[in-house]
Amino acid sequence: MARRPLPRILSDRGAHLARGRELARTAADSATDILHPLITIARGLRRLASAGRRRVADTPKDRRGALLFLVASVLMVVLLLPYGPLLATVSLMAAAAWQGRDRAPTAPEGPDESQTRRLKSLYDALVPYFSSAGAPDPLYAHGGSWEKAFPAYEFDGTGRITHLVIAYPAYYTDGEAESRARIEHLLAAKSGRGREYRFAWDEEGNQLTVRVLAPLPADIAAQRFVTSPGETVLGFTDPAQVRRTLPVVHGGERRDVPPVVWRTGIRSTEPHLLAVGQPGSGTSTLLRSVALQALRHGDVVIVDGGGTGEYACLTGRDGVLAVECEPAGVVESLRWAAHETERRLIAANRAHRAGDPPPEDTKRPLWILLDRPSAFTHLAAADGREDPQSLLQVPLRHGRPANVTVVVADQLDSLEALSDAVRQHTRARVVLGPATPEQVTAVLGAPPHTTPLDDVPAGRGYARLGTGPVHRLQVPATPNPYDDTAGAGHRQAVLDLLPARSAQDGARREPERTVPEAGPVRGAPADTVFMDKHSTEKEPVEKKPADPAATDETVAEAHAAHSADADKAAPEPVPMEAAAAESS
């Protein structure tokens, strides 16, 4: 059965509405042009009346009678004169028209002399790159005009460029990174150093847009951000880069700022994070900020390779399973984390097979935070012991389905010491502190669209989540609360976010060992006594004997199922060998 077409009044409704809006807009503009003299006179009369009221209010009370008598006498004389009322009306309308005129200063058309010199200098600097000897009508030529090359421009109060649109020839190789880098470096040098510029290349329209970026706020203290479980605020970025804002308290008032939100959990495609930077760039600050946010909904294991006590404030807190800074304790904690990941995988796999929801003890997130693990790698190699990074293979590969998240922070000059598992499975990347564009590109997998700063504040850098865009990043101020050199307000903000002390009153809290119900954990000694993590009396848990072959088969099946799922959902890893070669 053929469909009958809609009536014309219904099918053309959008066109009628658009035409009606256009007619209404045209009529309003015409009425404004016609009534402009009346609007001006009415505005002038209002201003004259306001001036008269102010004059009467400013006159002392003992002189107001004389003033009223003078005004009445003038009105009487005007009424008695021939054509007096007509002349008075014309004079009043003329005065009202003069008072009601638009007094806004007219903006000068075009740039002034200093701005013209700056644009001319910038045009001459671009001529060697954009000119061609065989072009019939060259856009860029020695002694040419800059008006066609720069269709739009803006200047600040100091006479420096804040926004510039540059038209370039179609034959320029704008698809090559080297060609773009040359132009961006030249524009940053000629437009004024000490500022951060963002470059947007329109290859289809042959236009380059240069915009000066405002500095990111570097004094936003750590606080409870309005996020849902599984969301972590890495820092703040430009408003044009993200579609979401968060309310924060900054400078004693509430304001909305655009955040860089990292999502973890079962549905995440970037379940693990790698942060690198120079010494003092703020990687430890980032880890403290992540730890404080993770403790709201999960448990945390911290490995401190710096040995400076940056995480001493978290020792003995609720949810902090361990803060390790010794090689033996680090190996023991990471081995327990690997066993815990396997236990969660087996428990979740059994629940899936039975058609039941995952157990509650597998839903609580477990965070493994490592600060400078390369330091323990060197110590392990010197002593001939096991490398702690080798124990991260299971949490990194199978952590997403097990609700286990790994965050690694290290220095740029130690990238070659990171294991292959860390490089392949950390698809959320952060680069903090001063770094060359080549180093940023090697770590993030994509070049930044802004120029680097000469003076980089702590916690300032770039972030990229998976295959997304590169964002400017400013980490919230989260200093060590025991550091006297930090600001008192920022230290107090961190103290307010710390969880309460555990029942052991600050004593060292060992990670609790748990095993799957089917049998012992693979790799554990036969005489190891495991404690039930959710037991309140902390008594040894009696385990039923199980067939070792069946246990190995269950673990292998769980690993195979979750490995296939992770390989399908995750993108290709970002190579980092170029960064290691650059730093070495």
Q: Which CA distances in Å does 203 have to 219, 451, 471?
A: 38, 20, 21
Closest CA relative to residue 259, chosen from 283, 293, 225 = 225
Closest CA relative to residue 402, chosen from 349, 452, 326, 480 = 349
Dihedral of the alpha carbons of 448, 453, 454, 456, in degrees to the nearest 10: -100
- CA pair distance 266, 403, nearest whole angstrom: 6
For the purposes of burial, counting CB atoms within 10 Å of the CB of 114, is it exposed (0-12), middle (13-18) or buried (19 or more)? exposed
Closest CA relative to residue 392, chosen from 509, 313, 291, 274 = 274
The type of residue at 336 is W
The type of residue at 146 is W
Domain positions in the chain: 113-213, 231-510+549-583
Question: Given this model, what pLDDT does residue 2 score?
Answer: 52
- CA pair distance 480, 478, nearest whole angstrom: 7
Question: Given this model, what pLDDT does residue 195 score?
Answer: 86
278 is in an annotated binding site: yes
Half-sphere exposure at residue 64, Cβ-oriented, CA atoms within 13 angstroms: 10
The tokens 């804040």 sit on which residue?
A: 162
Closest CA relative to residue 369, chosen from 281, 485, 287 = 287
284 is in an annotated binding site: yes
Rounded to the nearest angstrom, the gap between the alpha carbon of residue 109 and the centroid of all alpha carbons in its chain is 38
Question: Given this model, what pLDDT does residue 502 score?
Answer: 80
Residue 452 carries which DSSP code? P
280 is in an annotated binding site: yes
10-residue block means of pLDDT along the chain (584 residues)? 52 59 74 77 86 84 83 85 85 84 62 88 92 84 90 88 93 90 90 86 93 90 93 93 89 90 92 94 95 95 90 93 92 95 94 92 94 90 86 94 95 91 94 91 90 85 94 94 90 94 57 39 35 37 39 48 47 44 40
Question: Given this model, what pLDDT does residue 202 score?
Answer: 93
The type of residue at 242 is V
Residue-wise DSSP of 206-272: TEEEEEEEPPPPS-PBP------TTEEEEEE--TTT-S--EEEEETTEEEEE-EEEEE-STT-S---
- Let me know: does 365 contact 402? Beta carbons within 8 Å: no
Q: Which CA distances in Å does 362 have to 234, 351, 467?
A: 25, 11, 29
Q: 231-510+549-583 has which fold?
A: Rossmann fold (3.40.50)
- CA pair distance 40, 38, nearest whole angstrom: 5
571 is in an annotated binding site: no
Torsion sign, CA atoms 70, 74, 79, 85: negative
* Element holding 299 (H helix, E strand): strand 299-304
Residue 291 Ramachandran class (φ > 0 left, ψ -120 to 50 alpha, else beta): alpha
281 is in an annotated binding site: yes
- CA pair distance 272, 262, nearest whole angstrom: 10
- Let me know: does 473 contact 283? Beta carbons within 8 Å: no
- CA pair distance 257, 44, nearest whole angstrom: 44
Q: Which two tokens stand for residue 390?
A: 């080798």
Question: Given this model, what pLDDT does residue 50 score?
Answer: 86
282 is in an annotated binding site: yes
Question: Given this model, what pLDDT does residue 221 score?
Answer: 93
Closest CA relative to residue 392, chosen from 484, 272, 280 = 272
For the purposes of burial, counting CB atoms within 10 Å of the CB of 82, is it exposed (0-12), middle (13-18) or buried (19 or more)? exposed
The tokens 């390779």 sit on which residue?
A: 305
Q: Which CA distances in Å does 395 have to 184, 341, 556?
A: 42, 6, 15
283 is in an annotated binding site: yes
